[in-house]
């Protein structure tokens, strides 16, 4: 596995590649959810031995963090990430620096003005501008044929899919189902910031999203358990929640 830390190094590698690229963008602190995206990217490749190299990017994108504390506390597990990437058969790990990705200091950005305004966009102003901008920049650099995103961040997956279509980009966006602990808790890099009690309690998010008859019932159950609710709403045939526990914001969604 090659580790490339700058855009120029990446370009140098990329210009000699004839095989299509399967791309998995992440912010690191890799877990089984990320691994599932990598395995999917890898197996898409193996379906046709003629094709496919897996590129994983790790870049903690500051422009999508509206809360400086959240950015400061975002976990970093570089050595374990390299190990997981290698074991998953990643061909290139691309880990650029801020100055590389934002030479314009974020004067230019992608802005979506409809579906990015609800759910996570309503309570995290500017979040999706940051997400879509970094995804656009990474797509321009990596030039993949396919890119893999988790359903755990369903609103993000949908906005990325629609951006690719709006800008006529020839990239297939593949949605990958949410990977959960056996308790039902959706895996997230932020789970590591919870105490053992908090982590145990967090399983109720999925349970009540899935088993409540209405959003009101789910909200009441979670409030009774001491969660602070950012939102709990239904859109596009799915039920979405963002809640705080021990000061950590967790999101999840289920099909209804």
3-state helix, strand, coil in the chain (%, to 5): 45, 20, 35
Q: How far is the CB of 1 from ligand AMP (least distance, A)?
A: 18
Rounded distance, CA 58 to CA 256, Å?
33
Q: Which residues are catalytic?
A: 34
The number of beta carbons lying within 10 Å of the beta carbon of residue 73 is 12
Strands (E), 31-154: 53-58, 92-94, 146-150
Q: How far is the CB of 189 from ligand AMP (least distance, A)?
A: 5
Q: How far is the CB of 229 from ligand AMP (least distance, A)?
A: 20
Q: What's the token pair of residue 11?
A: 């370009």
Residue with Cβ nearer ligand AMP (34 or 146): 34
Residue with Cβ nearer ligand AMP (8 or 165): 165
Binding site for ligand AMP (CB under 6 A): 26-27, 33-34, 36-37, 149-150, 152-153, 176, 178-179, 186-189
Rounded distance, CA 53 to CA 42, Å?
8
Residue with Cβ nearer ligand AMP (169 or 220): 169
Collapsing DSSP to helix, strand or coil, 239 comes out as strand
Q: How far is the CB of 18 from ligand AMP (least distance, A)?
A: 27
Residue with Cβ nearer ligand AMP (172 or 220): 172
């Amino acid at each position: 596995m090659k580790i490339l830390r700058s855009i120029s190094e990446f370009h140098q590698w990329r210009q000699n590649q004839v095989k299509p690229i399967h791309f998995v963008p992440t912010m690191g602190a890799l877990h089984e959810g990320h691994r599932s995206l990598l395995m999917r990217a890898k197996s898409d490749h193996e379906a046709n031995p003629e094709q496919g190299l897996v590129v994983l990017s790790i870049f903690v994108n500051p422009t999508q963090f509206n809360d400086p504390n959240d950015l400061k506390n975002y976990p970093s597990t570089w050595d374990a990430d390299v190990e997981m990437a290698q074991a998953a058969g990643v061909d290139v790990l691309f880990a650029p620096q801020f100055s590389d990705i934002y030479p314009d200091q974020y004067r230019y950005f992608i802005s979506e003005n409809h579906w990015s305004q609800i759910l996570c966009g309503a309570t995290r102003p500017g979040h999706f501008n940051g997400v879509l901008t970094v995804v656009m920049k990474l797509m321009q650099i990596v030039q993949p044929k396919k890119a893999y995103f988790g359903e755990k961040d369903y609103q993000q997956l949908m906005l990325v899919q629609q951006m690719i279509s709006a800008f006529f980009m020839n990239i297939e966006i593949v949605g990958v189902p949410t990977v959960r602990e056996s308790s039902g808790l959706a895996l997230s890099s932020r789970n590591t910031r919870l105490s053992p009690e908090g982590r145990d309690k967090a399983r109720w998010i999925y349970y009540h999203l899935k088993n409540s008859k209405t959003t009101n019932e789910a909200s009441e159950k979670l409030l009774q358990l001491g969660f602070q609710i950012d939102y709990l709403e239904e859109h596009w045939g799915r039920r979405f929640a963002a809640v705080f526990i021990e000061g950590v914001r967790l999101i999840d969604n289920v099909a209804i």
